[in-house]
Structure formats: structure tokens, C-alpha cells
Amino acid sequence: MKPPIVKHIRAIPNYPKAGITFRDITPLLANGEAFQQTITHLAERYADDGITKVVGIEARGFIFATALAYALGIGFVPLRKPGKLPGKTNKKSYQLEYGEDALEMHVDALSATDKVVIIDDLLATGGTVLAGVELIKQAKADLHECAFIITLDDLPGVQRLNDAAIPYYTLCEF
């Protein structure tokens, strides 16, 4: 059963601009019991799946991904914005509503023997996570699932993941 975290997610209307309702996870993070339940639930979900690495998307995805990796006793791999990782990286660009961004991952972070789960705080349009999926494919690692704390149902992320046949899991939907 999913943990009852919805009450710990604050809605902030008209942020960052008019017409947008921002889903704020900071109350969830500030509540030790709710945060622990979230990580425990995810750890139980993936405990018997042979996951070897947890991949987290910058920045809020890092919070959940590192805690999950710790709970599972496995490694964490960061997906970062361009220029933030030292050493050689692979890069995947993606479209934003107004422009373009990219994610990078160290070329040696994953291998064909890795089975991974990607964690991010929010699924909205799906562009960021799809870029992450491409980086995992470049590394020839096995993507088990993408997991999100929140999914925004009125945006195309779910449809884009379904269209690409990418398995995903979410703790709560708005």
C-alpha cells in the first residue's frame, strides 16, 4: 500500500507564474515520518528486483534517489545539468516549454550489467526523464522502471512514457 503522502505536498498557486500550481515537496521532506515511509515503501518495492543502481535526476530527484540507494545498499548515479560533472560524460538534450536543456551522466557510471531505477520528484511533461532513459540506453544498462513521488495527470508525461513503453510508478497523482 502506498504511503499517505498527499497531505504533505503543498499546492502553491500561480508559482512560478500565473496559472501554474506548483506541487511543493518540502513539507514531505520536513516530516521525518512521512519521508521515511516514502523511502521505505520504495525500498520494499524494489528490494527483490535485482536493482544494482539508483539513478537520480537533478536536483530534487537526488533527495529520494540517494535515500533509496542507501536503503537498498546499492550505488547512486547522478544525472546532472551540463557542466556539473567532472570527467567524461554523455549528454542528452531535451525540449522545454520555452527552450532546451540537457542532462549529463559519467560515461563509466553504468554498464550493461546494471539494472537501474530512475527516481525523480515529479513527472510533468516527461522530457527530463526521457532524456535520462536515453542516457541509460547509451550505457546499455537495463532500465527496470522510472519512479516519481508526484505525477501531474494534466500534462503529457504519462502519455509520453506509455507511448515509449517505459514502465513507471508514482506515489501520488494530481
CB count within 10 Å of CB 43 equals 17
Q: Number of structural domains, the chain?
A: 1
pLDDT tens per residue, range 95-150: 876 779 999 999 999 999 999 999 999 999 999 999 999 999 999 999 999 999 99
Q: What is the model's pLDDT at position 32?
A: 98
CATH number for position 169: 3.40.50.2020
Within a domain: 60: yes
Q: What is the model's pLDDT at position 107?
A: 98
Within a domain: 25: no
DSSP state letters, 54-111 = EEEETTHHHHHHHHHHHHHT-EEEEEB-TT-S-S-EEEEEEEETTEEEEEEEETTS--
Q: What is the model's pLDDT at position 42?
A: 98
pLDDT tens per residue, range 11-66: 999 999 999 999 999 999 999 999 999 999 999 999 999 999 999 999 999 999 99
Within a domain: 90: yes
Within a domain: 98: yes
60 contacts 120 by C-beta, under 8 angstroms: yes
Within a domain: 139: yes
Within a domain: 4: no
Respond yes or no: is residue 97 known to be catalytic. Answer: yes
The range of the structural domain enclosing residue 129 comes to 47-173
Within a domain: 37: no
Within a domain: 6: no
pLDDT tens per residue, range 76-96: 999 999 999 999 999 999 987
Q: By CB neighbour count within 10 A (0-12 exposed, 13-18 middle, 19+ buried), where does 99 fall?
A: exposed
Please tell me which residue in 60, 134, 145, 160 is annotated as part of the active site: 60
* DSSP assigned state of 116: E
Respond yes or no: is residue 45 known to be catalytic. Answer: no
Helix (H, G, I), strand (E, B) or coil at 18: coil
Q: What is the model's pLDDT at position 96?
A: 78
Q: Taking the model in full, what pTM does it have?
A: 0.95
